[in-house]
């Protein structure tokens, strides 16, 4: 709590700047397009895959916004996002396995190419749109796997940071107590 900013609440909520959110948004868009191209809407898997992708993205946003008043809620929702993307990862692996498509090794030239695309500063769904629109189901599903692995890695790092921050800074009640003690000291 500084003299310029009297609020003791943490500055949070700009989820669009989180790399985990940006990557999850790409995963959602790619999953939507994958389902549109390669699955029939009568297939229950479509709803499950789109919902898992959406849940990953939305829970990152919701957790980031909730962080202002609840570090516990931020951690829980970020972990829900991670679990949702893990579910989606399994759906793509199941799709590839049951249709006799090859799953790329993480060090294959194809996977390394996708990883290279992820290093672009302006990475977005547009980076992958041509692949999503023109490649076969096996290629698009493997691209999705690569992106989900990246999102999961980012979320694992984010969860570890949230745990560390909680241990070092505490939660809202501790911040409120500290702010109240500081306010009384200044009177």
Q: What angle do CA 169, 175, 180 make, to 5 degrees?
A: 145
Q: What is the pLDDT of residue 1?
A: 45
The better pLDDT of the pair 184, 95 is held by: 95
CA 174 to chain centre: 28
Confidence of residue 2 (pLDDT cuts 50, 70, 90): very low
Q: What angle do CA 81, 60, 158 make, to 5 degrees?
A: 85
Q: Are 151 and 60 in contact (CB under 8 A)?
A: no
Q: Is the pLDDT of residue 102 over 70?
A: yes
H helix runs in the chain, sequence order: 19-38, 44-66, 71-98, 109-118, 126-134, 137-169, 172-186
Q: Dump pLDDT digits (tens) for 103-146.
A: 999 999 999 999 999 988 899 999 999 999 999 999 999 999 99
Q: What is the pLDDT of residue 185?
A: 80
């Amino acid at each position: 709590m500084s003299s310029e900013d009297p609020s003791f609440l943490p500055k949070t909520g700009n989820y669009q700047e989180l790399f985990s959110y940006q990557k999850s948004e790409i995963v959602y868009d790619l999953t939507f397009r994958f389902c549109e191209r390669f699955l029939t809407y009568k297939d229950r898997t479509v709803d499950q895959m789109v919902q898992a992708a959406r849940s990953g993205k939305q829970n990152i946003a919701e957790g980031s916004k909730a962080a202002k008043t609840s570090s516990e809620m931020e951690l829980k929702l970020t972990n829900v996002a991670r679990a949702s993307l893990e579910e989606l990862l399994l759906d793509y692996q199941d799709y590839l396995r049951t249709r006799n498509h090859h799953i790329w090794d993480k060090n294959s030239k194809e996977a390394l190419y996708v990883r290279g695309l992820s290093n672009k500063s302006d990475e977005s769904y547009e980076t992958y749109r041509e692949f999503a629109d023109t490649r076969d189901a096996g290629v698009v599903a493997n691209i999705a796997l690569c992106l989900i692995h990246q999102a999961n890695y980012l979320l694992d790092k984010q969860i570890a940071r949230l745990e560390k921050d909680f241990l070092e800074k505490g939660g809202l009640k501790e911040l409120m107590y500290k702010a109240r003690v500081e306010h009384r000291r200044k009177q």
